[in-house]
Amino acid sequence: MSKTVLGISGYIGSGKTEAGIFFKEVGAFFIDADRIVDRIYQVDGEGYKKIKNFFGDEFIKKDGKINRKKLRKFVFSDVNKLKILNGLIHPPVVREIQREILSCKDHVVVVEAVYIDGDMMNGILDKKLWIECDEDKIFARAAGKAKYDRNALAEIFKIQKEIKIKPDKPDYIVDNGGSMADLKKQLKKIWEELNNIEKIG
């Protein structure tokens, strides 16, 4: 059975998750890379072991879990540190994404991830979607969320721009500067096209 695999990316707070949820609700098999990261960060997971071995026990809390807040603050202060972490974590995450794609029976698979460009992801994605959203909108929408304060959000946004997470040639660009209804209208057109691609394939 042929499958079409779409990768969704965008800056922090741009609306990647909302787009992923939309595709899941209309029938796609949805893979959230953050969920996979959460899994491999668990004690004795592959990511946990790599972080502990490379960065040391200072990033492990008393209960044995990774201090993700401390690690995030550490790597997002320096683009080179972030690249090191990505080099450790991306391979097992991509392997798990591949495993989930192969095991699912759906025609359209949607992968939400920060990084959808590069050799590892290019080998498994058929199409790439970039969620466009300007900085003011991102900060306004994130203001009511407790996960990041404004300073942390600003640092992450800055680093993401520095390392150029936007794909060089996205197949689709969606503008999420308007309402949720506007976003869904754009995503609906992409969903219809993806299903046509699948039928032709």
Angle of CA points 139, 182, 4, to nearest 5°: 100
Domain ranges of the chain: 4-34+95-200
Amino acid at 198: E
Tell me, what DSSP letter sits at residue 163? Answer: T
C-alpha span between 25 and 34 (Å, rounded): 19
Is the pLDDT at 200 greater than 60, yes or no? no
Q: Are 4 and 119 in contact (CB under 8 A)?
A: no
Tens of pLDDT, residue by residue over 172-192, are 999 999 999 999 999 999 999
Per-residue pLDDT reduced to its tens digit, 145-167: 656 677 778 888 888 888 889 99
pLDDT tens per residue across span 95-133: 999 999 999 999 999 999 998 987 778 789 999 999 999
This prediction has a pTM of: 0.89
pLDDT at 145: 61
Pick the CATH number of 4-34+95-200 from 3.20.20.60, 3.40.1190.20, 3.40.50.620, 3.40.50.300: 3.40.50.300
CA distance linking residue 64 with residue 43, whole number of Å: 7
